Structure 1
Amino acid sequence: MANPIPRNPAASRAANQRGAARLAAVQALYQMDVGLQTLEETLAQFSAVHLKREIEGEEYLPADADFFRQIVSGVIKAQLEVDPAVDAALQDGWPMVRIDATLRAILRAGAFELLRRQDIPARVVITEYVDVAKAFFEDDAWRMVNGVLDAIARKAGRDEPLR
């Protein structure tokens, strides 16, 4: 199964190595969800091919491979916590299974970081995944990502003051 390609490569190209890892993690989670690949198969494939690459002629920064593995493995290991948190933050009548597979991957990765990576400020996590959503979608899907991740952060007690 092919990975989703960001519609705006220039938007994600300027990201730092952790941002590149987040983008790759979303693609890997999408592939696991849609292509039904195992964690081991996906990590091996992305480590070998996708973490240092060019898409449609656009060069990308190399991703932080360790951070990439932490996100993908973390989402899978914490899925019984992550998925209900996302479901609870979605509007009534819109369970996770009804949303686009790429959006589902973005929300899962963001929720994992908000719930399990207290060392990363919530506003950084939310901003990074909003940027990932903007790289994949032309519409205002990023607004949904922002709202859902903000709700998860607040429920988890991560509503840090903006400086």
Structure 2
Amino acid sequence: MGARTKGRRRATDVLYAADVRGVPVAEILAQEASRAEHEPERATSWAFARQILLGVGEHRDEIDELLTTYSRGWPLDRMPAVDRAILRVGVWELRWSSDVPPSVAITEAVESAKTLSTEDSGRFVHGVLGRIAELPTSP
């Protein structure tokens, strides 16, 4: 697994943990940053995870609005928590990360959903992110 894939997975884990535990992402982020300091082999993936987490935090309202609009009948609170986390990472990459091609962001999110969530989650994540990827980008 590449460093960016690991970074996405770490970001998803942090978002999921914060959601399920009902604590701010910043709290889990601080714990993980401390842990990463003592594990040099995590440095590359952690840097990307941190970038994702800070980006998701900065654009959380916009991300959740896009998810609510394009999930077609699936309110955020009805989605499995892991799907919400995966989708938030994917939307951030699609809309605010200029160095990640849309096809890569979608493929990575779908693979995470297939691995971490329900049998139908891969198709669901693909559909939502595919619709969002078709939106015009902001100047």
With the length of structure 2 as denominator, give the TM-score of the two structures. 0.87
Show the counterpart of 2:70: 89
Tell me, yes or no, if the aligned pair for 2:10 and 2:46 is still in contact at 8 Å. Answer: no
Q: Which amino acid aligns with 1:125?
A: A
Structure 2 unaligned spans of 5+ = none
Q: Distance in 1 between matches of 2:94 and 2:120?
A: 22
Q: Distance in 2 between matches of 1:26 and 1:51?
A: 19
TM superposition outliers: structure 1 runs of 4+ over 2 Å: 36-40, 47-53
Tell me, yes or no, if the aligned pair for 1:115 and 1:156 is still in contact at 8 Å. Answer: no
CA 144–50 in structure 1, closer or farther in 2 if over 3 Å, else same: farther
> Which has more helix, going by share of residues?
2
Larger relative contact order (CA 8 Å, sep ≥ 6) = 1
CA 20–112 in structure 1, closer or farther in 2 if over 3 Å, else same: same
Identity of aligned pairs, percent? 36
Q: Distance in 2 between matches of 1:110 and 1:86?
A: 10
> 1:116-155 to 2 correspondence within 5 Å?
116-155=96-135
With the length of structure 1 as denominator, give the TM-score of the two structures. 0.75
Q: Which amino acid aligns with 2:20?
A: V
The size of the alignment, in residue pairs, is: 135
Where 2:100 maps in the other structure, the secondary structure is coil
Show the counterpart of 2:60: 79
Structure 1 unaligned spans of 5+ = 1-14, 54-60, 158-163
Tell me, yes or no, if the aligned pair for 1:24 and 1:50 is still in contact at 8 Å. Answer: no
Tell me, yes or no, if the aligned pair for 1:51 and 1:65 is still in contact at 8 Å. Answer: no
> CA shift at 1:97, angstroms?
1.3
> After superposition, what is the alpha-carbon deviation per residue over 1:47-99, rounded to whole angstroms, capped at 9, x for unaligned?
3347998xxxxxxx84511110111111111012101111111113x211111
Q: Distance in 2 between matches of 1:110 and 1:118?
A: 13
Q: Distance in 2 between matches of 1:102 and 1:66?
A: 21
RMSD: 2.1
